[in-house]
Amino acid sequence: MKLFKPTLVALALVSVIGCQETKQEEKAPVLDTEVQKQAYGLGASIGMFTQRNLAEQEKLGLTLDQALILRGFKDSLADKSVIEKEEIQALMMNLEQTMKAKQQEAAANAAEANIAEGLAFLEANAKQEGVQVTESGIQYSVIAEGEGEKPAATDKVKVHYKGMFLNGEEFDSSYKRNQPAVFGLNQVIKGWTEGVQLMSVGSKFKFTIPSDLAYGPNGNPPRIPGNSVLQFEIELLEIKKAEAPAQVGDAK
């Protein structure tokens, strides 16, 4: 049984506790017992989670009066809330809907901006020395050339990789997990399906994949915005050939 399940809206009510108090020297909390540490830990976890969400609200242009947040929290603990429970629930639902609307608007604006940024990057990158461009628009350069065979779209492959946004920020890496990825080439984004087939086992390529061959206008929330041109460094470690289908009449 879960004893405590915070939500974004509920946590907004307990933010910045202590921040609105008159600043004065405070004694360190007494944390001699497990129960004391649990109590402090619960408060700390609420504070850290809420701080992150308030920062996100600020980014979206939604600023809540912290003095009123603190007052509502204290009044609720003392069972002296000046707003009825049913109204509070309605208010919190409205707040959550407002946040979702602002997030959707921000995502749409980011996706629109990514179109121009991606096109400009692809145009410039195509002119870089060593960059080759496929008919579909995938751009790639060879970091290391292997001598093994190349996979087919129906094969499974074992790879190490890292994925990056155009600013160089890394959003995924099998290297950091210290665990190569294994997947069917027909089960990933189109840019991977096409691109990895260009590689021989032992090769390492860098790909720049247009958004329509990656995650398209919808992106891959929450990490990858819509219309994102993505870059991947991929190292092909092994091919796991697809098994041929059994033929009628084959001996068992």
Q: Which residues are catalytically annotated?
A: 161, 171-172, 189, 215, 232
What is the distance between the alpha carbons of residues 150 and 190, in angstroms, rounded to a whole number? 17
**Which one, of 93, 95, 94, 90, lies nearest residue 57 by Cα?**
95
What is the distance between the alpha carbons of residues 164 and 166, in angstroms, rounded to a whole number? 6
How is residue 138 written in tokens? Answer: 């995938």
Residue 138 backbone dihedrals phi, psi, to 5 degrees: -70, 135
Beta strands in the chain (DSSP E): 132-133, 139-144, 156-164, 170-173, 181-184, 204-209, 230-240
- 84 Cβ partners below 8 Å, 6+ apart? none
Residue 168, by phi and psi: left (phi above 0), alpha (psi -120 to 50) or beta?
Answer: left
What is the distance between the alpha carbons of residues 103 and 125, in angstroms, rounded to a whole number? 31
Q: Which residues pair with 141 in a beta bridge?
A: 206
